[in-house]
């Protein structure tokens, strides 16, 4: 019994991820071949495609990386992937960077490149966060406790339980 329980916890290093220090988890997108996303400090977001060796061992190959880099400071949030109703071709990669705010990209590389999606500016977002989603919107928290709601022409700012439309 002891040996079978121990074997559950054995891991095998299947790929080495490039870049700087990583203080958060990665993200995965299982559709369109399968991708893994990781955002080390002071580095681009690296996008790896899932494949298998000739012996059937899973392996990740660098498929693309963003043209911009994250801040050199600790506090980058974990990458997050969303889709429209789980449909292939609709995936978006989101990342909160305390220096650059919210960043978004099409999650699947196009011609080997990550294509950035414009997002409205977000001031002083909190460290180590990821956007949360609901009703077609995303929500972010600032370092001072404000909540940003997007997208839309008007940005709602919630502070101390008061709603102010800016």
Each domain of the chain, given as residue ranges in start order, spans 2-122
Q: How far apart are CA 61 and CA 134, in angstroms?
A: 33
Q: How many CB atoms lie within 10 A of CB 8?
A: 6
Q: Which whole-number Å values give the CA distances from 2 to 7, 8, 149, in the listed order?
A: 9, 10, 50
Query: Does the model's pTM come out above 0.85?
Result: no
3-state secondary structure of 2: helix
Question: What are the tens digits of pLDDT across the range 3-59?
Answer: 444 444 444 555 566 667 787 788 999 999 999 999 988 899 999 998 888 888 778
How far lies 88's CA from each of 30, 62, 77, 92, 124, in Å?
10, 21, 24, 11, 33
């Amino acid at each position: 019994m002891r040996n079978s329980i121990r074997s559950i916890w054995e891991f095998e290093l299947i790929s080495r991820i490039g870049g700087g220090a990583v203080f958060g988890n990665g993200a995965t997108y299982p559709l369109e071949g399968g991708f893994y996303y990781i955002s080390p400090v002071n580095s681009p977001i690296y996008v790896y495609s899932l494949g298998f060796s000739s012996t059937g061992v899973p392996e990740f190959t660098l498929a693309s990386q963003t043209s911009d880099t994250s801040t050199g400071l600790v506090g980058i949030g974990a990458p997050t992937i969303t889709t429209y109703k789980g449909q292939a071709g609709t995936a978006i990669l989101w990342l909160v960077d305390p220096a650059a705010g919210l960043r978004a990209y099409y999650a699947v590389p196009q011609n080997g490149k990550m294509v950035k999606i414009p997002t409205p500016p977000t001031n002083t977002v909190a460290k180590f966060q990821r956007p949360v989603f609901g009703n077609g919107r995303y929500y972010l928290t600032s370092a001072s406790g404000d909540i940003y709601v997007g997208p839309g022409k008007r940005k709602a700012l919630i502070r101390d339980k008061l709603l102010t439309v800016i």
